[in-house]
């Protein structure tokens, strides 16, 4: 019993050290930060699956203290608010054998809550209200124009037919659009981080033979049929808000559609991958399809979203080949 406890503590210390290395790699090499910020919780997930939640929580706290020593308390607190809960939840769900759908929904909700909590803590520490983020967006227009002016770019644009007033209007329109979709952007980014974290953790656990099966092949990924109702709700709110002049309803509907769009595109891409797998086109045809997609990207994205919307509703892939289990 004592030997087992010592082995568990030693493994916890090792995983905590690996977590610290991943975080510090992103901290000192900034271009790696986008990756390390998402995957540094994977050692914690592995530790919980191999041992238990108590050891995983202890390793999380230990790594937080070590990171605070190198990067400062505020950076460590914000980082762990953002991602530590995701690692602990995924560790528990993998250990209990939860399915991919349940794990992704739980991970997405935890990630969204963590993002909101992180913004709230940042607001408390800096003294800047949450609305100040929107004010910073507006100030960005003036900063950008001033930068262009100092670099001599405004004169170059004027020779091309665009005056400073038109540039300011274009920038203000872009900032206004970002402000409108800010809730959707935050939710989408949070769910994307949870999704990537799940995929990496599932692959690692499968390689270590800690779970029986890894994620299914991409061609078998499919949204449930009832996901269609979310799109219908978003469209209804968007149109109702626009027709009756209700800004909050309008913004809510638009943000729901923004959140759904990458899921629909991903589902459509999985469906396309399934059909290509069935048809088995040659390398030249695949390159031709890829080239045509790149030069018509907006049309392709809209087409994939449309395919992704109707695919789960009609269950085309399950009907065409229900026995295909993948490789």
Q: Do both 201 and 81 map to the same domain?
A: yes
pLDDT of 125 over the 50 cut? yes
Q: Do both 206 and 287 map to the same domain?
A: no
Mean pLDDT to the nearest integer, 34-46: 88
Q: Considering only 146-160, 190-204, 268-282, which range has the smallest mean pLDDT?
A: 146-160
In tens, the pLDDT along 165-203 reads: 666 666 667 777 777 888 898 899 999 999 999 999 999
Whole-angstrom Cα distance, residue 203 to residue 199? 6
Question: Where residue 107 sits, what CATH number does that domain have?
Answer: 1.10.1760
Q: Is residue 142 part of a domain?
A: no
Whole-angstrom Cα distance, residue 202 to residue 214? 6
Tell me which of 215, 232, 261 is where a domain ends.
215
Mean pLDDT to the nearest integer, 251-271: 93
Percent of the chain residues topping a pLDDT of 70: 80
Give which of 152, 144, 132 is closest to 171, Cα–Cα: 144
pLDDT at 15: 87
Is pLDDT larger for residue 322 or for residue 303? 303
pLDDT at 7: 79
pLDDT band at 141 (very low <50, low <70, confident <90, very high): low
Is pLDDT larger for residue 161 or for residue 251? 251
In tens, the pLDDT along 194-241 reads: 999 999 999 999 888 888 877 788 888 888 888 889 999 999 999 999
Token pair listed for 75: 């950076």
pLDDT at 180: 84
Q: Is the dihedral of CA 12, 18, 19, 20 positive or negative?
A: positive
User: Looking at the 3D structure of the chain, how many domains does it have?
Assistant: 2
Q: Do both 82 and 204 map to the same domain?
A: yes
Q: Do both 208 and 221 map to the same domain?
A: no
Q: Do both 196 and 251 map to the same domain?
A: no
pLDDT at 201: 92
pLDDT band at 326 (very low <50, low <70, confident <90, very high): very low
Q: Is the dihedral of CA 13, 85, 194, 124 positive or negative?
A: negative
pLDDT at 327: 46
Q: Do both 317 and 227 map to the same domain?
A: yes
Whole-angstrom Cα distance, residue 62 to residue 111? 21
pLDDT of 325 over the 60 cut? no
Q: Considering only 86-95, 148-157, 293-302, 309-318, which range has the smallest mean pLDDT?
A: 148-157
- What are the CA-CA distances from residue 43 to residues 23, 94, 106 (Å)? 12, 13, 19
Per the confidence metrics, is the pTM higher than 0.75? Answer: yes
- Domain containing 49: what range? 1-127+185-215
Q: Do both 64 and 207 map to the same domain?
A: yes
Tell me which of 215, 237, 259 is where a domain ends.
215
pLDDT band at 149 (very low <50, low <70, confident <90, very high): low
Q: Do both 58 and 69 map to the same domain?
A: yes
- Among the ranges 2-16, 32-46, 238-252, which has the highest mean pLDDT value? 238-252
Token pair listed for 175: 């900032």
Is pLDDT larger for residue 269 or for residue 4? 269
Residues 6+ apart with CB under 8 A from 207: none
Token pair listed for 174: 């872009």
Q: Do both 210 and 233 map to the same domain?
A: no
- What are the CA-CA distances from residue 116 to residues 108, 195, 238, 315, 318 (Å)? 12, 18, 24, 35, 38
């Amino acid at each position: 019993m004592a030997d087992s406890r010592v082995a568990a503590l030693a493994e916890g210390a090792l995983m905590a050290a690996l977590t610290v290395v991943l975080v510090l790699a992103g901290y000192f090499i900034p271009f790696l930060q986008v990756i390390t910020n998402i995957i540094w919780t994977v050692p914690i997930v592995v530790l919980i699956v191999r041992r238990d939640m108590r050891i995983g929580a202890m390793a999380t706290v230990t790594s937080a203290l070590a990171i605070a020593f190198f990067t400062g308390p505020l950076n460590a607190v914000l980082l762990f608010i953002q991602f530590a809960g995701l690692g602990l939840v995924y560790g528990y769900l993998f250990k209990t054998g939860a399915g991919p759908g349940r794990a992704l929904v739980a991970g997405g909700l935890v990630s969204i809550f963590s993002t909101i909590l992180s913004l709230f803590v940042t607001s408390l520490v800096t003294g800047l209200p949450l609305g100040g983020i929107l004010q910073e967006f507006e100030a960005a227009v003036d900063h950008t124009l001033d930068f262009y002016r100092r670099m001599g770019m405004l004169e170059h644009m004027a020779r091309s037919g665009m005056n400073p007033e038109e540039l300011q209007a274009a920038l203000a329109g872009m900032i206004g659009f970002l402000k409108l979709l800010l809730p959707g952007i935050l939710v989408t980014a949070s769910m994307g981080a949870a999704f990537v974290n799940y995929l990496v953790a599932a692959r690692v656990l499968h390689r270590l033979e800690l779970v029986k099966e890894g994620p299914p092949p991409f061609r078998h990924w499919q949204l449930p049929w009832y996901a269609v109702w979310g799109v219908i709700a978003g469209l209804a709110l968007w149109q109702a808000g626009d027709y009756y002049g209700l800004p909050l309803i309008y913004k809510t509907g638009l943000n729901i559609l923004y959140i759904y769009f990458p899921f629909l595109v991903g589902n459509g891409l999985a469906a396309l991958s399934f059909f290509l797998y069935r048809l088995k086109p040659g390398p030249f045809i695949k390159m031709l399809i890829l080239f045509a997609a790149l030069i018509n990207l907006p049309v392709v994205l809209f087409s994939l979203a449309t395919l992704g919307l109707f695919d789960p509703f009609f269950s085309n892939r399950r009907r065409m080949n229900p026995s295909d289990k993948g490789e």
